[in-house]
Amino acid sequence: DTGVSQDPRHKITKRGQNVTFRCDPISEHNRLYWYRQTLGQGPEFLTYFQNEAQLEKSRLLSDRFSAERPKGSFSTLEIQRTEQGDSAMYLCASSLRELSDTQYFGPGTRLTVL
Amino acid sequence: AQTVTQSQPEMSVQEAETVTLSCTYDTSESDYYLFWYKQPPSRQMILVIRQEAYKQQNATENRFSVNFQKAAKSFSLKISDSQLGDAAMYFCAYRSWMSGGTSYGKLTFGQGTILTVHP
């Protein structure tokens, strides 16, 4: 079963460093979402791709954040000049429009900024 | 903008008994989807059940069922015959019907309810 995978699962970094996360969606899923989840809260939407096009970005996504999905398959989320407030779980989800568009989530990447 | 509210931060239930988790939402849209997701400790989020707003019949999935009250904007989850494996954080989520415009199918989540199951 090839579900949504994310790498790394955990990342500890120092404030001011850049980090990059990767998400591999379910094969053939054309939609990919990034969410951020802080401890004890529900996930919040960050950005969305349909194929390789980034169609929506949340206001939560400051200019230090950038996401790409270069070939419409895997996606990367980069955070530049990390701040302690960036510490959170970053979740990726994918869906296939033609199949009820249910979003399937990956295990997440937990980021800790020291 | 849509909002989702889960007013029960924590709930507990005895194994084999029934528990109901509450969710209310606010929207001006007439067509939408509602979901319950389960997030076990340190494990990924999985879909429990979904409800299309145009359907009057409440969705059921084995031991899980919902009580969807569209006029009241209420969407509760009932778990029957609770099992130890049901222990998790449960999230209610909303998605617009039209996956376009400013929505693109993004999910809006509530704050979550931690469910504890006692043996």
Instruction: Name every residue whose Cβ is closer than 8 Å to that of residue A13 and which is 6 or more positions away in sequence.
Output: A19, A82, A111, A112, A113, A114
Tell me what pLDDT residue B38 has. Answer: 96
Distance CA A79, CA A65 (A): 5
For the beta carbon of residue A63, count every other beta carbon within 10 angstroms: 6
| Interchain CB distance below 8 Å, B44 and A107 | yes
Each residue of B48-57: pLDDT tens digit? 999 999 888 9
Question: CA triplet B5, B7, B8: central angle to 5 degrees?
Answer: 135
Helix (H) or strand (E) holding B14: strand B10-14
| Interchain CB distance below 8 Å, A41 and B50 | no
Amino acid at B20: T
| Strand locations in A61-102 (E) | 65-68, 75-79, 88-95
Instruction: Please compute the mean of the pLDDT values over residues A52-65 and round it to a whole number.
Output: 88
Q: Which range, of A4-8, B1-5, B62-66, averages the lowest pLDDT?
A: B1-5
Set of chain B residues whose Cβ sits within 8 Å of the Cβ of A97: 99
Instruction: Please tell me what DSSP assigns to residue B84.
Output: G
Tell me what pLDDT residue A72 has. Answer: 83
Distance CA B67, CA A14 (A): 47
Instruction: Please compute the mean of the pLDDT values over residues A37-48 and round it to a whole number.
Output: 92
Burial of B16 (0-12, 13-18, 19+ CB in 10 A): exposed
Rounded to a whole number of angstroms, the distance from the CA of B56 to the nearest CA of chain A is 18
> Within an 8 Å CB–CB cutoff, is residue B97 touching chain A?
no
Tokens of A18: 């850049």
